[in-house]
Chains A and B, each alone.
Chain A
Amino acid sequence: MRLEPKPAPTLVETFAYPLGAVVVTFVIASLLVLAAGASPFSVFALVAKGAAGSRFAIMETLTRATPLIFTGLAVAVAFRAKLWNIGAEAQLYAGALITVVLATGALPLPAPILIPILMIAAMAAGALLLLGPALLKTRLGVDEVVTTLLLNFIMLLFVSMLLEGVLKDPMGMGWPRSPKIIADAQLPKLIARTRLHLGFLIAIVSAVVVWIIMKKTTLGYEMRAVGHNAEAARFAGIPVNSVLMKTALLSGGLAALGGFSEVTGLKSNLTLDLSPGFGYTGIVVAMLAMLNPLGVVLSAIFVAGIFVGADAMSRTAGVPSYIADVMVATALLTMVVAIMMTRFRVRWR
């Protein structure tokens, strides 16, 4: 079996391959559902209903999609420049942490001033966290996959330590959680009596801004050039290391906004289960979107829908909601194959 490069994908192929990946994912998931003793069609119908069957379901899906858009964007930006940031999880917690530190009374400011300050602080924290791995990569050639991945565990344990110590809510009845943030720091709901909050809108705006950066600015051009061929980029006079640093700052900042938005929009405090792996799922989201920032919004909603829908389904059909994890993981694998097939023709023999 050999791979031969092929011409640029046609418009049809651009959509057909990702769609094919999703179809294969459903086929594989069907087998697991059958193994669990249920009918795939009724299970998928329940998942779809749970994800988009009612106004409430749609709002839940969009709410769940919000942090995924941020982490998906963080990964898309970094991967585009071939900076393998696997640490969106840690950067998300860094953003959440600084938000909680500043928003629990340290800055008694009105909302229109406080919220932008919190956003900037969160982005700075996330960017700072990725700065270390990026510096190690550009100065010493240390593999960023290892450093960013391991920082996830360090960050989680650090947060855990703070929640058991200085950040522990005195009124928390012994639970490891931070105090609630002040009212001025909370993001308004987008639609009354739902959980959908302003963070979703910020996520959409971020996606558009990232899209503009990638397509229209010199920085976006530099990032793509470095990602596609760093040696040629260096030869052409593009400052590769400085581009990688800027990429790292942007990526870390975006992931951290996910933490900011979860705390200020949804949870109001920081706990260790703030993120059930949003940072890792962001990798799936970005890959499903083929690293396109606007595609990230759609794929985040899709992935969120599967999670939300699977939760609802498992309550009625008795199939474990872990099917969602399997589906998302399968989607990642099939998508990687699909991306490869848009670039290469497979020749058997």
Chain B
Amino acid sequence: MAETVLRLTNITKRFGPLVANDSISLELAAGEVIALLGENGAGKTTLMNILFGHYVADEGTVEAFGKLLPPGDPRAALDAGIGMVHQHFTLADNMTVLENIALGTQSPWSWKLDRSGARARIRKLSEDFGLAVDPDKTVAQLSVGERQRVEILKALYRNARILILDEPTAVLTPLETDALFATLKMLVAKGMSIIFISHKMHEVMAVSNRVMVLRGGKLVGGRETAGATRQELAALMVGQEVAFPPVEAVPRGEELFSLENVSTTPRAGGSALHNVSLSLYGGVITGLAGVSGNGQAALAALLSGTEKPLSGQIRIAGGEVSAWSPREALARGIARVPEDRHAVGSIGDMSVTENVISERYRSERFSRHGFMDWKAARAFAEELIRDYDVKCPSPDARIRLLSGGNMQKLILGRALDPDPVVILANQPTRGLDVGAVAYVHKKLLEARARGAAILLISEDLDEILSLSDEVRVIFKGRLSSPSQRGERSVQEIGELMAGHGIGEAA
């Protein structure tokens, strides 16, 4: 048994009412790769941020190489030999690779950077571990894969012996991913220990020795990778907590919204759409499955009105749409539940009242001749708080102070109150507790029963399979053909999510 290099004991972290980490204990041995598996919001990143000193745990301790780490001190974690590669890189774009790597490693009292020494070390490290990158290029000139290599080099340069990688493959192409895995194998061979965070099953199977599964902030299981099956891990990851409501048959209505051969402009952080055709029908929930970053954001932006098609046609209830904007989308009866309720769905520093009217403040109901009717707005907020059972001190409270579930209920109430004909629900239950998830599902099914056309985008495959009448899979900006409820198995959908068969289907 190899020596234990890192020991987390009973780590607990709460954010208000949410328990992000619930008494988690974990041991990492020298030369071992642990995969931390879990869905979004399971608490993986929180745990790693505690380990690295970005957050202070409410309870529990972190021990590295037998020494207790002081909480909330990234410097101490660095000095103890822990290196972290964040999901979002922490590099200065306008500086060279060398400068980025050496930043903070030399005495602040030295007159100038010891460039030749640093360059020699970087060269040596990059040769040893297959991390090819030119130390004198500026970071802005590098590809995403190269930037990640710089992040890893940065950790190695500081003599890291434990490397934490947070969703390292989320931004990589398959080729770059393979290169990364090769590097990780070399690192481990030299005695490095690695924690690898992911929610992608096949990666976990490919690189790890052991898998730890997190769900809802709890460590729900640990397995030796060699003896574990994908099915077993998937069951652990999803759990059986969320009971999906019974879905009653609703007659299929008319086509209410459609995209015809729509393509969008290339965007940062995800695929654009390529020649996508999609029809949404009244009384039908269309579920969109897919690995994140494959064009879901572009499709959601298109329905929300924040993006215009580059080519192709949007039709609403059969009529062509020319001018397209969020305001136009709202006017045409499209309700939007955005993916990010904090940054996009709400204005944190404004009150609940001011937030619930944000999409309709110009309507007769809430303003006249340019003057707001705050009485009506407040009454509407009170109505939503009552009808949607929102826990909130008063309509005047800043919406920032509400929990995720209560905020989502208000966003849902704002979207559904005008009886929309089309509903975009983008990750509507991400990060919510079980009760709030059930509530959101109930409301979506009610809207379906009323005859609304619903597009449900989710990374939770179970949610999609249990709610959707029709499922489509998105891969690299292309859509699969639709399948009716129960027509495709989970395996078949998984294959489509990996890109097998979508080229032909589209």
Identify which of residues 214-261 in chain A touch chain B, using a CB-to-CB cut-off of 8 Å: 216-222, 224-225, 228-229, 231-239
Contacts of B349 in A (CB 8 A): 228-229
Tell whether A8 is near chain B: CB-to-CB under 8 Å.
yes
Tell me the dominant secondary structure on chain B's binding face: loop
A229 to B342 Cα, complex, angstroms = 10
- Which of A7, A216, A225, A349 is close to B358, meaning CB atoms less than 8 Å apart? A225
B345 touches A235 (CB 8 A): yes
Given contacts A221-B361, A225-B347, A228-B347, contact A236 B326 (CB under 8 A): yes
Q: Is A318 an interface residue (CB 8 A)?
A: no
A235 touching B371, Cβ below 8 Å = no
A-B contact pairs, 11 of them (CB 8 A): A2-B72, A218-B367, A218-B370, A221-B354, A224-B350, A229-B347, A232-B344, A232-B346, A235-B344, A235-B345, A237-B327
Given contacts A231-B344, A236-B359, A237-B325, contact A219 B350 (CB under 8 A): no
Q: How many inter-chain contacts with C-beta < 8 Å in the A-B complex? A: 75
- A window 103-118: CB within 8 A of B: none
Q: Are A229 and B338 in contact (CB under 8 A)?
A: no
Q: Cβ of B304 < 8 Å from any Cβ of A?
A: yes
Closest approach, in angstroms, between the C-beta of A270 and any C-beta of chain B? Answer: 36
Please tell me which stretch of B208-216, B221-229, B395-403 contacts chain A, meaning at least 4 of its Cβ atoms lie within 8 angstroms of it: B395-403
Whether the pair A8, B397 counts as a contact (CB closer than 8 A) is yes
Could you tell me if B346 and A217 are in contact, using CB atoms closer than 8 angstroms? no
A229 and B343 contacting across the interface, CB-CB below 8 Å: yes
- Cβ proximity bits B330-349 to A, threshold 8 Å, 1 near / 0 not: 10000010100001111111
Residues of B contacting A235 in the complex (Cβ-Cβ under 8 angstroms): 304, 306, 326, 336, 338, 344-345
B residues within 8 A CB of A239? 325, 327
A232 touches B330 (CB 8 A): no
Within 8 A of A (CB), among B298-320: 304-306
Q: A221-B372, A237-B325, A349-B72 are in contact. Are A5 and B347 (CB under 8 A)?
A: no
CB neighbours (8 Å) of B348 from chain A are 228-229
Question: How near does chain A come to B3, taking the closest CB pair, in angstroms?
Answer: 31
The chain B residue with its CB closest to the CB of A222 is B361
A139 CB, min distance to chain B CBs, angstroms: 17
A-facing residues in B353-395 (Cβ within 8 Å)? 354, 358-359, 361-362, 367, 370-372, 374
Q: Is the CB of A236 within 8 A of B358?
A: yes
Given A216-B372, A231-B343, A235-B345, check contact A225 B350 (CB 8 Å).
Answer: yes
Is the beta-carbon distance between B372 and A217 smaller than 8 angstroms?
yes
Contact assessment for A5 and B400 in the assembled complex, using a CB-CB cutoff below 8 Å: yes
Residues of chain A whose beta carbon lies under 8 Å from any beta carbon of chain B: 2, 5, 7-8, 216-222, 224-225, 228-229, 231-239, 349
Chain A hits for B346, CB < 8 A: 229, 232
Count of interface residues, chain B, beta-carbon cutoff 8 Å? 33
A residues near B347, Cβ cutoff 8 Å? 225, 228-229, 232-233
CB neighbours of A220 from chain B (8 A): 372
**Can you name the residue of chain A whose Cβ is closest to the Cβ of B373?**
A216
* CA of A171 to CA of B55, assembled, Å: 72
A347 to chain B, nearest CB (A): 9
Q: How far is the CA of A228 from the CA of B355 in the complex (A)?
A: 11
Q: A8-B397, A224-B350 are in contact. Are A234 and B345 (CB under 8 A)?
A: no
| A-B residue pairs, 9 tightest by C-beta | A237-B327, A236-B358, A237-B326, A229-B347, A228-B349, A228-B347, A232-B347, A236-B359, A235-B344
Residues B343 and A217 in contact, CB atoms below 8 Å apart: no
**What is the minimal beta-carbon distance from B395 to any residue of chain A, in angstroms?**
13
Contact flag A217-B344 (CB < 8 Å), given A225-B350, A228-B349: no
B109 to chain A, nearest CB (A): 24
Task: Point out the residues of chain A lying under 8 angstroms from B72, CB to CB.
Answer: 2, 349
* CB <8 Å contact, B327 and A218: no
Separation in Å of the B428 CB from the closest CB of chain A? 15
Q: Shortest beta-carbon distance, B425 to chain A, in Å?
A: 15
- Give A83 to B330 CA distance when docked, in angstroms: 27
Whole-angstrom CA separation of A319 from B349 in the bound complex: 44
Interface residues of B in 386-438 (CB under 8 A from A): 397-398, 400-401
Min CB–CB distance B107 → chain A (angstroms): 24
Q: Which residue of A lies closest to B343 (CB)?
A: A231
Known interface pairs A228-B348, A232-B343; A8-B398 also in contact (CB < 8 Å): yes
The answer to whether B397 touches A234, judged by C-beta atoms less than 8 angstroms apart, is: no
Beyond A8-B397, A233-B358, A237-B326, 17 additional contacts (C-beta under 8 Å) are A7-B401, A8-B398, A218-B371, A220-B372, A221-B361, A225-B350, A225-B358, A229-B343, A232-B345, A235-B344, A236-B326, A237-B325, A237-B327, A237-B329, A237-B330, A237-B358, A238-B358
The CA of A239 and the CA of B306, in the complex, are separated in Å by 11
Give the contacts of B138-179 with A (CB-CB under 8 A).
none
| Most chain B CB within a 10 A radius of its CB, from A217, A220, A237, A238 | A237
Q: Which of A221, A222, A239 has the most CB of B within 10 A?
A: A221
B401 surroundings in chain A (CB, below 8 A): 7-8
CB-CB under 8 A from B374, the residues of chain A are 216
Q: Which single member of A216, A218, A228, A229 contacts B361 (CB below 8 Å)?
A: A218
For B329, the chain A residues whose CB sits under 8 A away are 237
